[in-house]
Amino acid sequence: MNKQILVLHTGGTISMQADGSGAVNSSQDNPMNHVAVPLDGIEVTVVDFFNVPSPHITPQHMLELYQKIKADADQYDGVVITHGTDTLEETAYFLDTMDLPDIPVVLTGAMRSSNELGSDGVYNYLTALRVASDEKSRGKGVLVVMNDEVHAAKYVTKTHTTNVSTFQTPTHGPLGLVMKQEILYFKTAEPRVRFDLTSISGLVPIIPAYAGMKTEVLDMLDWQKLDGLIIEAFGAGNLPKETAETLTAMAESGLPIALVSRCFNGIAEPVYAYEGGGVKLHQAGIMFVKELNAPKARIKLLIALNVGLSGQALRDYIEG
């Protein structure tokens, strides 16, 4: 029996075309809709769900994708989402935290538009279909498939502005590889907490730390109007002394503040006990997000706030 795969197109470079000057823009006629699927045992149902550049994607778009997949999942054996690469990892992580049915959900995209030399869109699309139709892909969470690699949504990130091998998983490496004849997995997915959201809202900005950062930067925030805050800190989780004092006051007032490292590899943890060091920040109530980058930590905090987590339950989830 053929595997039934739902394809949700959302826009992005994979659906775009370059003009005579080399500028890339959206196309009303998605070229992926004209791609033949020369894969035995796979039937696709294609839905043009959105047609937006991924910098225009919002958590509301992500929620609508989740609701569509959940509503239709019993009709399909897997789902492929084509998506712009700039925010693909955020959408993938959002979906990975949702209460999706246990079928493969795979996101893919392209670094070169459909009419550029060496375009990678069709190949990534077809390999994503192969992964979504493979029984071994079940139970591994939401997956990102690009350039013959299979990555876990939680850890994958875009690492290069233009290179086709841009999606990498720092520290951990990919879950598997797309081979000529099979999908080879050499890692298992981690257990995860999943939620069923019906709406999402909230103001949670990201503030990066830098050498010489002054508290005036934080003072410019009307932080009483914030629902939460993500801080991208130095190293294992450290900040300039002045800004640490202000953030401590904000956290003690009840504002949920989560901290990540700005480092490409490694884990945020409270190590240093000097003023501004992670130990004192953690003691003040700032939550350490161990293995996520800032955009994904923001998604995690938004979801937690929208399901009503607070106090110790919020801290346990954010730091878990």
Same domain, 169 and 242: no
Across 10-104, the runs of DSSP E, i.e. the strands, are 17-18, 24-25, 42-48, 78-82
Could you give the count of Cα atoms lying within 13 Å of 67 in the half-sphere of its Cβ?
Answer: 11
Q: What was the pLDDT predicted at 256? A: 98
| Spatial distance between the Cα atoms of 285 and 287, rounded to a whole number of angstroms | 6
Domain membership flag for residue 199: no
Q: Using CA atoms, how far apart are residues 135 and 78, in angstroms rounded to an integer?
A: 9
Q: Is residue 294 part of a domain?
A: yes
pLDDT in tens, 201-234: 999 999 999 999 999 989 898 888 999 999 999 9
**What mean pLDDT, rounded, does the chain reach?**
95
Please check whether residues 299 and 216 belong to one and the same domain.
yes
pLDDT in tens, 72-104: 999 999 999 999 999 999 999 999 999 999 999
| pLDDT-above-90 percentage for the chain | 85
Element (H, E) at 206: strand 206-208
Q: Is 255 a member of any domain? A: yes
Final residue in a domain of this structure, among 155, 185, 215: 185
Indicate whether 125 and 256 sit together in one domain: no
CATH number at residue 88: 3.40.50.1170
Structural domain includes residue 306: yes
Tally of residues, the chain: 320
Residue 294: pLDDT band with limits 50, 70, 90: very high
pLDDT, position 37: 87
Please give the tally of structural domains in the chain. 2
d(CA 261, CA 289): 8
Residue 16 CA to residue 116 CA, distance in Å, equals 10
pLDDT in tens, 99-141: 999 999 999 999 999 888 889 999 999 999 999 999 999 999 9
Q: Which residues have CB under 8 Å from 197's CB, separation 6+? A: 63, 66, 98, 303, 306, 307
**Residue 305, both tokens:** 């706030």
Flag whether 192 is in a domain. no
| 152 and 210 inside one domain | no
Asked whether residue 211 is domain-assigned, the answer is yes
Q: What is the pLDDT of residue 120?
A: 92
Task: For residue 304, give the CATH number of its domain.
Answer: 3.40.50.40
171 and 299 in a single domain? The answer is no
Which positions are catalytic? 13, 85
Report the pLDDT value the prediction gives residue 243, as an integer from 0 to 100.
94
Range of the domain at 105: 3-185
Please say which residue of 185, 216, 241 terminates a domain: 185
Confidence of residue 24 (pLDDT cuts 50, 70, 90): confident
Instruction: List all residues 6 or more positions away from 26 whose beta carbon is below 8 Å from its beta carbon.
Output: 11, 15, 16, 51, 52, 53
Supply the pLDDT for residue 292: 97
Dump pLDDT digits (tens) for 156-176.
999 999 999 999 999 899 999
Q: Do residues 130 and 71 both lie within one domain? A: yes
- Residue 29 and residue 140 in one domain: yes
Which residues are documented as binding site? Answer: 54, 85-86
Classify each residue of 199-235 as buried b or exposed e, where b means 16 or more C-beta atoms within 10 Å of its C-beta: ebebebeebebeeebebebbeeeebeebebbbbbbbb
CA proximity to 258, closest of 206, 310, 210, 212: 206
Rounded Cα distance between 247 and 283, Å, is 12
The model's confidence at residue 188, banded by pLDDT at 50, 70 and 90, is confident
Integer Cα distance of 107 and 255 in angstroms? 33
- pLDDT for position 21: 84
pLDDT digits (tens, 9 = 90+) for 236-246: 999 999 999 99
* Residue 226 belongs to some domain of the structure: yes
pLDDT at 19 over 90: no
Same domain, 155 and 97: yes
Give the DSSP letter of residue 17. E
Residue 229's closest CA among 249, 255, 253? 255
Do residues 220 and 285 share a domain? yes
213/243 Cα distance (integer angstroms): 7
Binding residues for substrate: 54, 85-86
Is 147 inside a domain boundary?
yes
Q: Are residues 210 and 154 in the same domain?
A: no
Classify residue 40 by its DSSP letter.
Answer: T
CA dist 48 and 60 (Å) reads 17
Does residue 48 sit in the same domain as residue 146? yes
Same domain, 229 and 100: no
- Whether the pLDDT of residue 304 is over 90: the answer is yes
Taking the alpha carbons of 216, 222, 224, 225 in that order, is the dihedral positive or negative? negative
Q: Give the per-residue pLDDT at 152.
A: 97
